[in-house]
Amino acid sequence: MAKRRALEPLEDIMDAPSPASKRSRVDDDMMSPEPTNGTHSNGHFMSPRLQDREKLDIMGAYEEEHDELEEAGATPDAEEEDEEASAMQAPKRQAAPTEGYTDLYLDTIDRKVLDFDFEKLCSVTLSNINVYACLVCGKYYQGRGPKSQAYFHALEEGHHVYVNMETKKVYVLPEGYEVLSKSLDDIKFVVDPRMSREEVARLDKEQKICWDLLNREYVPGFVGMNNIKANDYFNVVIQALAHVVPLRNYFMLEDLSARPQLAQRFSTLVRKIWNPRAFKSHVSPHELLQDIALRSSKRFTLTDQSDPVDFLSWFLNHLHLAVGGSRTKPNSSIVQRVFQGTLKIESQEITARADAGDRLRFEDAAVKTEITKFLILTLDLPAAPLFQDALERNIIPQVPLISILNKYNGVQAQEKMKNRVRYRLQHPLPPYLLFHIKRFSKNKFVSERNPTIVTFPTRSLDMSVYVEPNPKLYPPGEPVWYDLVANITHEAVKKKDDSVEGEQETKVWRVQLRDRSRDEWWGVQDLFVERERGETLFTKESYVQVWERRRNPNSKGKGKA
């Protein structure tokens, strides 16, 4: 049966327009403005979140480029921007909050979860470019354009306030306007603490007790440091260097934005250690440690224990280069001006003699003299006793510091390979002296530790007897006083569940620091900070000491020796 032919057009009967030809949704969005009543072009209702997602698909690349140019302080070419805008309608950013809503979303900020010590990497892309921190949950995200991770996070989680980790500007997303409220100044200060010269000058004179957000008491400069796994060797060195006044002041006040990351991150960590308005009473060295692991080819990491002296030597030399120091010119950086001294080395080949007592006797002839520079002075301990005493107890031997310093008096000779060697310090002595008390020795079979205790005063160490007189630089007979600033100690802790002999001890590093403002001593071991008595500092196994030269030689110094 044949179909009946229509007598009249269907449009006339139904009184309805012909259906429009099908086009892609992108073409519709590009050729016509986006509906503002929450409906799609086909008349169906669409939620605001779906509207934003649709805009992300259309305008992603354009907004990313615009965001990067805006962060760099530039804008796209006007003609190109007009052409792009005519082709596709971007979600417009607000230049300011809606009238009457100045503090919108600021009540959602949670300062207790904010931690700006960790490496500034996006938690999604792991990129360190254009990173923002969410002030609601504390996570890092990259960018703030319509296809950025921060933008998605704002839509999905409802977290709207973000701070740029470079510029310290705070934005509200997805609206995109900058927040200029002064109530956020404390967050900006914690991100990058900056102090004036007057405030830095008062650090050692008027140090006050502060409180963190959890109402825990702390003293700026004497705060704990996270031991992520096995980086306590790193913590004690950084804590000691942060109390070397000229070095600390330089990295707290100088602009190092054009320097390598090593100098910038060390500067940031030092400023956070001395931060009087911290949100928490400890700091984390994660950001600096990551850069050091990269530069040292994983020689120093946060997962493997290392020797503090090895790290100190490596760090000072690389920090010297990072702040513009020269490999050949002495005193070319703040590091060398603070720690570098001059040492005279006399050596003579050992000849066979019938009398063994003449083995280390210097002769006038055939003496080679060498003048060299140093950053760290190594002090040798006498050999520890091998046998028990008469009461069948292993008595820990003691030796005074001035006794092992005789290595540098220019008279006492030592045997080094096939030569006799003697050392003598030269004027002028550096403002700070670093002593390394050598406790560990290693051969092909075993590593040994010397437990000898070194007794020392905390003040008024006279170094003039170890320096060769030079009337042109220093009056003869005048004492050269040094006071102790920091003392890094070693402690051997036995493992409870270790059954292998010879591997029953682990190394624990601790640092003792002098508080100049109160004339007190603090002991810091990772996150634990406690007061200590200056009279009992020597009871620990001292490993590295930092001594400060007294500016006024006639001053006896204050406090107990």
Residue 74: per-residue pLDDT:
47
Residues 132-146: what's their mean pLDDT? 93
Q: Which two tokens stand for residue 429?
A: 């002595």
Residues 277-298: what's their mean pLDDT? 94
Residue 9 pLDDT level (bands cut at 50, 70, 90): low
Distance CA 556, CA 548 (A): 14
Q: Are 179 and 106 in contact (CB under 8 A)?
A: yes
Distance CA 414, CA 419 (A): 8
Model confidence pLDDT, tens digit, residues 475-520: 888 899 999 999 999 998 876 655 455 456 788 999 999 999 888 9
Q: Is the dihedral of CA 464, 470, 471, 473 positive or negative?
A: negative
Residue 348: per-residue pLDDT:
85
- Whether the per-residue pLDDT at 21 is higher than 60: the answer is no
Stretch among 41-55, 133-147, 204-218, 228-242 having the lowest mean pLDDT: 41-55
Q: Are 75 and 69 in contact (CB under 8 A)?
A: yes
CA 321 to chain centre: 17
Phi, psi at 193, each rounded to 5°: -65, 130
Residues 270-284: what's their mean pLDDT? 94
Residue 16: per-residue pLDDT:
46
Domains of the chain in start order, with CATH, are 41-192 (3.30.40.10), 193-295 (no CATH), 341-374+376-386+393-549 (3.90.70.10)
Distance CA 421, CA 347 (A): 4
365 against 493, higher pLDDT: 493
Q: Are 236 and 151 in contact (CB under 8 A)?
A: no
Query: Mapping DSSP to helix (H, G, I), strand (E, B) and coil, where does residue 14 land?
Result: helix
- Whether the per-residue pLDDT at 67 is higher than 70: the answer is no
Residue 142 pLDDT level (bands cut at 50, 70, 90): very high
Residue 1 pLDDT level (bands cut at 50, 70, 90): very low
Please list the residues that pair with 233 across neighbouring strands: none
Query: Mapping DSSP to helix (H, G, I), strand (E, B) and coil, where does residue 219 land?
Result: strand
Residue 43: per-residue pLDDT:
42
- Whether the per-residue pLDDT at 28 is higher than 70: the answer is no
Residue 34 pLDDT level (bands cut at 50, 70, 90): very low
Residue 246 preceded by cis peptide, ω within 30? no
Q: Which two tokens stand for residue 378?
A: 């190594």
Distance CA 117, CA 115 (A): 6
Q: Is the dihedral of CA 432, 438, 439, 444 positive or negative?
A: positive
Residue 503: per-residue pLDDT:
53
Q: Which two tokens stand for residue 330?
A: 């002495």
Query: Mapping DSSP to helix (H, G, I), strand (E, B) and coil, where does residue 375 land?
Result: coil
Q: Which two tokens stand for residue 336?
A: 């060398």
Among 276, 310, 524, 265, residue whose Cα is nearest residue 436: 310
Model confidence pLDDT, tens digit, residues 228-244: 999 999 999 999 999 99
The helices-and-strands tally (H runs, E runs) of the chain is 14, 25
Among 52, 28, 35, 31, residue whose Cα is nearest residue 146: 52
Residue 446: per-residue pLDDT:
78
Q: Are 376 and 312 in contact (CB under 8 A)?
A: yes
Distances (CA, A) of 278 to 214, 312, 518: 11, 27, 21
- Whether the per-residue pLDDT at 325 is higher than 70: the answer is yes
Stretch among 20-24, 118-122, 260-264, 436-440 having the lowest mean pLDDT: 20-24
Model confidence pLDDT, tens digit, residues 172-183: 998 888 998 899
Residues 32-36: what's their mean pLDDT? 43
Distance CA 223, CA 274 (A): 8
Q: Are 91 and 55 in contact (CB under 8 A)?
A: yes
- Whether the per-residue pLDDT at 357 is higher than 70: the answer is no
Mean pLDDT across the chain: 81
Q: Could you give the count of Cα atoms lying within 13 Å of 329 in the half-sphere of its Cβ? A: 8
Among 458, 527, 452, residue whose Cα is nearest residue 486: 458
Q: Which two tokens stand for residue 530?
A: 């406690």
Residues 156-170: what's their mean pLDDT? 93
Model confidence pLDDT, tens digit, residues 175-212: 888 998 899 999 999 999 999 999 999 999 887 899 99
Contacts of residue 156, defined as CB under 8 A and 6 or more positions apart, other chains included, come to: none
Contacts of residue 20, defined as CB under 8 A and 6 or more positions apart, other chains included, come to: none
Residues 365-389: what's their mean pLDDT? 84
Residue 151: exposure state from Cβ atoms within 10 A (0-12, 13-18, ≥19) = buried
